[in-house]
Amino acid sequence: MPVKTKKKDKGKVKSSAKDEAYNKGAKRASMSEVKKASDIFNEIKKEIAKVFYGHEDIVNSLLRGVICGGHVLLEGIPGVAKTLLIKSLAKVSGCTSKRIQFTVDLLPTDIIGLTIYDPKKGFEIVKGPIFSNFIIADEINRAPPKTQSALIEAMQEHNVTIGKTTFELPKPFFVMATENPIETEGVYALPEAQIDRFLFKLKMAYPEEKHELRLMEENVTFRKFEEINLKSVTSPKQIIGMQKLVHKIYIDEKIKKYILKIINSTRRKDFLYSEFIQLGASPRASIALFIGSKAEALLNGRNFVLPVDVKNVAHDVLRHRLILSYKAQAENIDTDKIIEYIIKNTEVP
């Protein structure tokens, strides 16, 4: 009988006999390791909540992205505190952060660095802002393709070449790129192959009224970030340790097949919304759903994956990986609607 889940199952899931059936792997993270990581996550979220109100799902998704060792594309209108969120996450994580404002005249060397000549010192290398733990790539679709590719390559390879020298990027290395969904003039849309490099794509809407009321009262926009009393609750070394711990989260064979069923559904030509899908999810989506569901389990204090973990990350993983047809745009069908249908109609193990 399928496990029934509700939309609000984003938090911890009560254990049942069927749930325990998934908790039987020989090689998996110990509960003491998971408990320690879970405590750190709670502390991070508590600190971020001092300055970033609401959107707990976005905070969880960013944390997932960090501990998966992936990168996140965040779509949201201006003024919803995207930059503040990532700066806060970097500060609380004990990591360095840099913001790169993408513009039409931005060059690859403005990101990675360049070799300069000093008459007194000779040739020397000046490293760019890419050499930081957390990178905010603001409005990435404003820069020309060559500059976008420089960032995407750094994200994939975790190293950059300046002149003839190759440098490794700091660890952990996490990029949150933002897109403005309302402007289409003077932008260069990311090609599908490059968008696929992002582990998750998130959509950030307006805050709820109660959170916006608090924003008005706190007046965060007019305060210097340095004045906000955020403390570091973890370190780059601990984050790297949690990235390794994610791989030790157990995932049952039934869950793996469940993931493949979801991915394969996007490639079928015989279901309700198939006519609106021009191209289904790539194999990279299977990997992202696999590792993302492990991270979701870890965030919820478990050392094994449940079907609900897969469901909770499915939208973030697939949202940017389904290429829709012109008919879908004409009939106002978006990827989230298709993903929701696939999840509801895929048998849960």
Which region, left, alpha or beta, applies to residue 49 given φ > 0 means left and ψ of -120 to 50 means alpha?
alpha
- pLDDT score of 85: 85
- pLDDT score of 273: 82
- pLDDT score of 6: 41
As a whole number of angstroms, the distance between CA 151 and CA 128 comes to: 11
Q: What share of the chain is helix, strand, coil (3-state, %, to 5)?
A: 45, 15, 40
Q: What is the pLDDT along the chain (349 residues), one digit of tens a residue?
A: 444 444 444 444 455 656 666 666 546 888 999 999 999 999 999 999 888 887 889 999 999 999 999 999 998 877 777 888 888 898 899 998 899 999 888 999 999 999 888 888 888 889 999 999 999 998 888 888 888 888 988 998 899 988 888 999 999 999 999 887 766 555 667 777 788 889 999 988 887 787 777 777 676 666 676 667 888 999 999 999 999 999 999 999 999 999 999 999 999 888 778 888 888 898 999 999 999 999 999 999 999 999 999 999 999 999 999 988 888 888 888 899 999 999 999 999 8
- pLDDT score of 279: 87
80, two tokens: 């919803």
44, two tokens: 């991070």
What are the boundaries of each domain within the chain? 1-28+251-349, 35-248
Domain 35-248 has CATH 3.40.50.1100: no
- pLDDT score of 212: 73
pLDDT tens sequence across 42-89? 999 999 988 888 788 999 999 999 999 999 999 887 777 788 888 889
As a whole number of angstroms, the distance between CA 57 and CA 54 comes to: 8
Residues in contact with 42: Cβ distance below 8 Å, sequence separation at least 6, in sequence order = none
Fold classification of 1-28+251-349 is Helicase, Ruva Protein; domain 3 (1.10.8)
As a whole number of angstroms, the distance between CA 284 and CA 277 comes to: 17
As a whole number of angstroms, the distance between CA 30 and CA 249 comes to: 9
Q: What is the pTM of this model?
A: 0.85
- pLDDT score of 153: 87
Say if CB 70 and CB 199 are below 8 A apart. yes
Of the candidates 128, 3, 136, 28, which has an alpha carbon nearest to the alpha carbon of residue 74?
Answer: 136
- pLDDT score of 7: 43
Residues in contact with 230: Cβ distance below 8 Å, sequence separation at least 6, in sequence order = 47, 48, 50, 51, 88, 91, 92
Largest CA-CA distance found in the chain, in angstroms, rounded: 76
Rg (CA), the chain: 21
Q: What is the DSSP letter of 227?
A: G
pLDDT tens sequence across 239-251? 999 999 999 999 9
Residue carrying structure tokens 């009939």: 331
202, two tokens: 């998130």
Length of the chain: 349
Say if CB 249 and CB 304 are below 8 A apart. yes
Q: CA torsion, points 298, 138, 190, 164, in degrees to nearest 10?
A: -90
- pLDDT score of 265: 92
